[in-house]
Amino acid sequence: MKNATHKLWPLISGTQFADSYIIDYDNLCYDDYNKLIQRFEDIPNKNDTIIIDKTCEHLHDFSNDIMLLNQLLEKYNCKDRSLVLDNTFDEYFFKQHDIKHISAPFYLFYNIANNNIKIPQWCPQVDYLFVCLNNNHKPHRQKFVEQCQIYGILEKTKWSYRSAIQSNFISTPKFLDQKKGQPGDDRNHEQLYSRATGDNENLEQLYNNVLVSLITETDFYSSNVTHVTEKSLWSIFYGCIPIIVGVPGSVQLLKSWGIDVYDDIIDSSYDNILDNELRLQSVIKQCINLLSEKHPENIKNLLPARVLRNQLLLSNKDYWTNQIKRTLWDYKY
């Protein structure tokens, strides 16, 4: 019961990892590196399993991210009894460094299922064909939004780009109001992207009057780091058809969890394209195809039952708790 107050407890209780020594790797790595080192220094000299808790992240810049972790595991001579929990559904870089690893839908659990989020009221109207929300600057986000401008997609898009960038095609920063009556520069817009904000009302307002969410995920150019973040999950929960500008395999991962990605409406074959430029152009092609749709509200009005099924699935805390526990139970050293 020594971990009963830890955030992982609902997921590890009753499993073989209940009494593990836990290192909150991501939180400490970014916020208090000295404390992270202290946790490694304090590893008990016995055979307890060590959980490296990366459940609020996935592999980003793999060359640095995984190498730093590997260096710490080797320095403190604990790799053989350490197990990384994170959101990267790919073993490639973990196997390269001989690091034990379990992936599970932790983003989904912590950001939606575990928060008792109220299912939003259905909104049949389509004031914008697309929504595209961009917080921090990323090269693929700039390129995608610029392409949307070039092909006339932004004209039918509710979009934001909070970072100030140099561009010949779009003017930034661009903000969106989250609440009626707030000023246009919307100082709180960044809270949309902070985890566990609980600001349901703001998210509902941003997503409820559109048909398709153009999701510029955290990563695009990296390979062998299959994942989806809460950005994709939120847009689906709030009733949008997703088009994911992310790493290959993102859509397939959602489908493997039983989530409806509406691939009878959107050709998601772009998800299989490994070439970054070709994948981006395939996504743009899907958007262009939708521009010719004269009555998008007719499509949306066929979706409420499917949207509700996704919402009920994503918000089912017991279901996702059991799915993750089963994954932990099935793991064999």
Which is nearest to 94 in space by CA: 64, 54, 66, 58? 66
Which among 183, 168, 130 is positioned nearest to 290, based on CA atoms? 130
How is residue 330 written in tokens?
């099935």
Indicate if 146 and 279 belong to the same structural domain. yes
Q: Is residue 4 part of a domain?
A: no
Q: Do 152 and 19 fall into the same domain? A: no
Share of the chain above pLDDT 90, in %: 86
Whole-number percent of the chain with pLDDT over 70: 92
d(C-alpha 71, C-alpha 50), whole Å? 16
Statement to judge: residues 89 and 146 lie in one domain: no
Residue 94 has pLDDT above 50, yes or no: yes
**Do residues 127 and 276 both lie within one domain?**
yes
Same domain (yes/no): 20, 108? yes
DSSP 8-state symbol, 293: -
Q: Can you give the residue range of the structural domain that contains 270? A: 118-314
From the number of C-beta atoms within 10 Å of its C-beta (0-12, 13-18, 19+), residue 188 rates as: middle
Same domain, 106 and 134: no
Residues 125 and 150 in one domain: yes
Q: Enter the tokens of residue 274.
A: 């490994």
- How many structural domains compose the chain? 2
Determine the residue type at 210: V
Q: Please tell me whether residues 74 and 170 are part of one structural domain.
A: no
Residues 149, 258: one domain?
yes
Closest CA to 118 of 192, 180, 198: 198
DSSP element (H, E) containing 159: strand 157-161
pLDDT average, residue stretch 153-181: 87
Report the CATH number that the domain containing residue 163 is assigned in CATH: 3.40.50
Residues 161, 76 share a domain: no
The per-residue pLDDT of the chain, averaged, comes to 91
CB-side exposure of 256: number of CA atoms within 13 Å? 12
Burial class (CB in 10 A: 0-12, 13-18, 19+), 65: buried
Q: Are 247 and 219 in contact (CB under 8 A)?
A: yes
291 with 308, same domain: the answer is yes
> pLDDT of 44-57, one tens digit each?
988 889 999 999 99
**Residue 220 covered by a domain:** yes
Does residue 278 fall inside a structural domain? yes
Examine residue 302 and state whether it is found in any structural domain, yes or no.
yes
Instruction: Quote the pLDDT of residue 191.
Output: 43
> Is 2 part of a structural domain of the chain?
no
- The answer on 281 and 325 residing in a single domain is no
**Residue 190 pLDDT class (50, 70, 90 cuts):** very low
pLDDT > 90? residue 149 = yes
Q: Are 183 and 100 within 8 A, CB to CB?
A: no
